């Protein structure tokens, strides 16, 4: 009987979906076995990182290479596995960060690490909020907030110590830093906050410096009056104080001409004293052993520096003999005769020029009433620098030490006072006072005064 051959059936090759499904399963199993500490894995699986898992699953999810014909269902499964791995990775990273912060806190509480080291390590963790995409963000933000809290408390402690020790400069510096923080928290840009805080701090420092200079001056005056110091020693001291004042202004970024509050003092010379640490006028001092000329006539004491006469410190203008007498720390150093009655020049401005003022740079400002403008001239050449809008029918004009220009406009309220930027000529602000303001002035404290013709008030 003939033998019957049973046909053999070969197992069909796996489809691309089956291959992908197996890879996904193997990757998932390998991750779980590795997490459980299993040792008997193939060399291929050992040490397979989460990133490598994600890379291979991404190829399947995107249908790359040999997975080009994989089904949508398998791709979705691969994508789900990727998301699960990313979530797991995020949780592990979050736990690691939280554990790190906890250990740091324990070491800090036990005194094993310093305050500075604690903050340094927290800053490293906080910096991760810029790089972590999947984890650690909230924890890193919490670390950053913790740093701010610690640094704020440290600053308060420093302030208490500085005040208790009477260290005024340290107090001002800490208050400057606190001011910057407060302004930035309120929404101000950091660079603007730093400018505001620095200006306020410099003003406080200047007050301290000026008070100290005044105390030293008073002591030295007393010493001189009681014969404890010679005339030469006294003059040397005054010159030193003056140099210190100018150096202080330079160190704090101030222009010594633009940041000095000037006063005029009218009266007899022996009654005219410098009130702001620039030396003392003494009528008993003679020039080169001779009697000084007209020292007891009515004088204007000017504490400004005129470039034409050089920097000779204090100058007294003799209103009777029209002479400039220069005083540097109390000695009459020279006498210069003023030109009297000579016209230096005539210059064109706008229509019906009314008010005039000179700014700290020596430029001349003229209010042109009929043209409703102001003109800025070069104080040396008379050349027109610019003509700017000022408001309706400007009359009075005044300039403060910050070089801003204040203009009184002869019109009914509102907006009858205009403030201009002295550098650009642009309008900074307008404000309303009385009706028909004719004249305007700025006092030493920066307060603006207007004479209002229409409303009978100031």
Beta strands in 363-426 (DSSP E): 364-368, 373-377, 384-389, 394-399, 405-409, 417-420
Question: What is the reported pLDDT for 456?
Answer: 65
Residue 40 is predicted with a pLDDT of 42
Confidence band of 314 (pLDDT split at 50, 70, 90): very low
The single-letter DSSP state of residue 248 is H
Could you tell me what percent of the chain has a pLDDT over 70?
61
d(CA 429, CA 390) in angstroms, rounded, equals: 10
Q: Is the pLDDT of residue 164 over 80?
A: no
DSSP state of 413: S
Q: What residues contact 16, with CB distance under 8 A and at least 6 apart? A: 66, 67, 69, 70
Scored b (16 or more CB within 10 A) or e, 307-329 reads eeeeebbbbbbbeeeebbbbbbb
Q: Decide which of 113 and 311 is more confident.
A: 113
Task: Place 410 in a pLDDT band, splitting at 50, 70 and 90.
Answer: confident
* Residue 82: per-residue pLDDT: 74
In this prediction, residue 440 carries a pLDDT of: 82
**Confidence grade of residue 292 (pLDDT, cut at 50, 70, 90):** very low
> CB–CB of 384/369 below 8 Å?
no
pLDDT for 339 equals 47
Name the one residue in this structure whose structure tokens are 């269902």: 73
pLDDT confidence of residue 11: 59
> Which strands form 331-337's sheet, in the order they lie side by side?
264-267, 299-302, 314-318, 323-328, 331-337
Asked whether the predicted pLDDT for residue 328 surpasses 50, the reply is no
Average pLDDT over residues 162-183: 80
- CATH 2.120.10.30 positions along the chain are 353-452
Mean pLDDT of 340-348: 60
Residue 142 pLDDT greater than 60, yes or no:
no
Residue 311 is predicted with a pLDDT of 40
Q: Using an 8 Å Cβ cutoff, are 297 and 321 in contact?
A: yes
Q: Is the pLDDT of residue 404 over 80?
A: yes
Residue 388, pLDDT > 50, answer yes
Torsion angle, alpha carbons of 288, 291, 294, 300, to 10: 50
Per-residue confidence (pLDDT) for residue 145, from 0 to 100: 60
d(CA 382, CA 376): 9
Output the pTM of the full model.
0.31
125 has pLDDT over 50: yes
3-state secondary structure of 373: strand
Confidence of residue 127 (pLDDT cuts 50, 70, 90): low
- 382-389: long-range contacts, CB 8 A cutoff, minimum separation 24: 382/345, 382/347, 384/347, 384/348, 384/349, 386/425, 387/350, 388/420, 388/425, 388/426, 388/427, 389/427
* Higher pLDDT pick, 335 / 82: 82
pLDDT digits (tens, 9 = 90+) for 180-216: 888 887 788 888 888 888 888 888 887 888 788 778 8
Name the class of domain 353-452. Answer: mainly beta
Which of the 8 DSSP states describes residue 271? Answer: G
Cis check: omega of the bond before 414, within 30 degrees of 0: yes
* Three-point CA angle 325, 328, 329, nearest 5°: 130
Q: Name the more confident of 197 and 268.
A: 197
Report the C-alpha gap between 183 and 190 in whole angstroms: 8
Is 207 or 327 the better-scoring residue by pLDDT?
207
pLDDT score of 259 more than 80: no
Model confidence at 9: pLDDT above 60? no
- Residue 359 pLDDT greater than 60, yes or no: yes
Per-residue confidence (pLDDT) for residue 126, from 0 to 100? 66
Residue 147 pLDDT:
61
Q: Check whether 77 has a pLDDT greater than 70.
A: yes
Q: Decide which of 278 and 197 is more confident.
A: 197
Other beta carbons within 10 angstroms of residue 302's beta carbon come to 16
pLDDT attached to residue 316: 44
Average pLDDT over residues 324-329: 40
221 phi and psi, to 5 degrees? -60, -40
Q: Which residue has the higher pLDDT, 85 or 127?
A: 85
Q: Tell me which residue has tokens 């009459």.
A: 332
DSSP letter, residue 129: G
pLDDT at res. 319: 37
Asked if residue 239 lies in contact with residue 329, where contact means CB atoms within 8 angstroms, the answer is: yes
pLDDT reading at 375 higher than 70: yes
DSSP string, 230-247: -HHHHHHHHHHHHHHHHH
What is the average pLDDT value for the chain, to the nearest integer?
A: 66
3-state secondary structure of 146: helix
CA distance 36 to 42: 15
* Model pLDDT, residue 110: 79
320 pLDDT exceeds 50? no
């Amino acid at each position: 009987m003939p033998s019957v051959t049973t046909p053999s059936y070969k197992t069909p090759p796996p489809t691309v979906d089956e291959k992908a499904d197996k890879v996904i399963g193997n990757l998932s199993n390998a991750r779980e076995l590795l997490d459980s500490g299993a040792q008997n894995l193939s060399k291929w699986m050992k040490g397979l990182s989460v990133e490598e898992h994600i890379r291979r699953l991404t190829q399947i999810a995107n249908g790359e290479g040999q997975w080009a014909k994989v089904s949508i269902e398998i791709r979705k499964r691969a994508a789900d596995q990727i998301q699960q791995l990313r979530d797991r990775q995020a949780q592990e990273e979050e736990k690691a960060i939280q554990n790190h912060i906890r250990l740091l806190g324990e070491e800090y509480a036990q005194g094993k690490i310093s305050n500075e080291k604690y903050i340094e390590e927290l800053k490293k963790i906080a910096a991760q909020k810029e790089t972590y995409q999947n984890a650690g963000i909230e924890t890193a933000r919490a670390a950053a907030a913790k740093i701010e809290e610690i640094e704020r408390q440290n600053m308060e402690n420093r302030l208490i110590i500085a005040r208790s020790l009477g260290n005024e400069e340290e107090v001002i510096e800490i208050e400057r830093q606190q001011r910057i923080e407060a302004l930035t928290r309120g929404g101000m840009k950091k660079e603007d906050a730093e400018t505001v805080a620095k200006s306020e701090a410099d003003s406080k420092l200047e007050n301290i410096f000026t008070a100290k200079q005044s105390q030293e001056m008073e002591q030295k005056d007393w010493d001189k009056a009681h014969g404890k110091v010679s005339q030469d020693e006294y003059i040397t001291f005054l010159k030193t104080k003056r140099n210190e004042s100018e150096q202080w202004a330079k160190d704090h970024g101030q222009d010594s001409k633009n940041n000095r509050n000037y006063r005029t003092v009218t009266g007899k010379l022996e009654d005219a004293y410098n009130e702001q640490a620039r030396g003392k006028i003494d009528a008993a001092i003679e020039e080169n052993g001779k009697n000084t000329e007209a020292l007891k006539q009515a004088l204007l004491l000017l504490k400004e520096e005129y470039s034409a006469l050089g920097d000779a410190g204090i100058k007294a203008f003799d209103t009777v003999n029209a002479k400039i007498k220069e005083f540097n720390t109390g000695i009459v150093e020279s006498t210069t005769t003023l030109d009297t009655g000579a016209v230096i020049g005539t210059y064109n401005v706008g229509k019906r020029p009314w008010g005039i003022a000179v700014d700290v740079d020596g430029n001349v400002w003229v209010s042109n009433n009929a043209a409703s403008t102001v003109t800025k001239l070069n104080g040396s050449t008379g050349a027109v620098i610019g003509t700017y809008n000022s408001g309706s029918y400007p009359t009075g004009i005044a300039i403060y030490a910050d070089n801003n220009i204040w203009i009184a406009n002869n019109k009914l309220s509102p907006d009858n006072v205009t403030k201009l930027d002295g550098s650009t000529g642009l309008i900074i602000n307008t404000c309303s006072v009385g009706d028909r303001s004719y004249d305007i002035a700025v006092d030493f404290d920066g307060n603006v005064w207007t004479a209002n013709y229409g409303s009978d008030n100031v």
